[in-house]
Amino acid sequence: MMKITVWILVLLMITGIFYPCGRVWWHPQYLKVLGQRTVSDVIEQFGPQAEQRLKPHFAAAGVAYPPERVSLLAFKDRDLLEVWAHQGSQSTLVRSYRIQAASGVPGPKLREGDFQVPEGIYQIIAFNPNSAYHLSMKLNYPNAFDWQQARAEGREQPGSDIFIHGKAVSVGCLAMGDSVIEELFSLVYAVGRMHVEVVIAPHDPVIRALSVPAGSPPWVSDLYSQITSAIEHIRQPPMQIDQVE
């Protein structure tokens, strides 16, 4: 009886480690058995509940759902993601979420495998309804600015496959947890990817001016000026609702 109990505990430990850490390997095989989901499948499955959770926040902010445009502002030092809705000339902070996991340190992403969350101004270029991390949305990292600096410095592999996704594990992406990614996925789908901007900063430049980390390339000062200007533009109107969840 003692041996059986020990083996059960060992099996549970292995499962607990392999399930989250091994998703990249076992999840594709899982999908082969159960079949691929489409974006429409995901919206049909999670959309109604996600909208039900979101709409009270938009109503409290006085913003129609879905809004005309959306900005997502991520601050690495506080593990915070702000959702800003835009209607005409009005911008409103609708709600803020805790980022469950984000690897790396202050400073931009430079190369493949550095586990660094990038910093910059990005667009969402694809939905992944079959993500190993529940659901995910792909960013256009490296963007034109990232490629320009990489080529100037001879960096042929600046990295790729940066996502906003579910779960709470990150190797360079923003992990938001499953219920939150369902809300963000549904919101971006409703607004349209082309109407969504994602700004990732080391910290909030309104609280403290962005300073270039020691040892960074000279162009980082230009990048931080771009990020600061983008955030200031998004936050120009004063109407805000601060809800961190």
Task: Locate the DSSP E strands across the chain.
Answer: 69-75, 80-87, 90-98, 120-128, 136-139, 163-165, 174-175, 196-201
Taking Cα atoms as reference points, which of 155, 160, 126 lies closest to residue 143?
160
Q: Which of 21, 27, 165, 195 is catalytic?
A: 165
Taking Cα atoms as reference points, which of 172, 173, 155, 156 lies closest to residue 164?
173
How many angstroms separate the CA atoms of 70 and 180, rounded? 16
**Is residue 21 annotated as a catalytic residue, yes or no?**
no
How many angstroms separate the CA atoms of 69 and 149, rounded? 29
**Is residue 57 annotated as a catalytic residue, yes or no?**
no
Give whole-number Cα distances, 93 to 29, 81, 122, in Å: 40, 11, 19
Q: Which of 21, 173, 195, 233 is catalytic?
A: 173
Residue positions annotated with a catalytic role:
165, 173
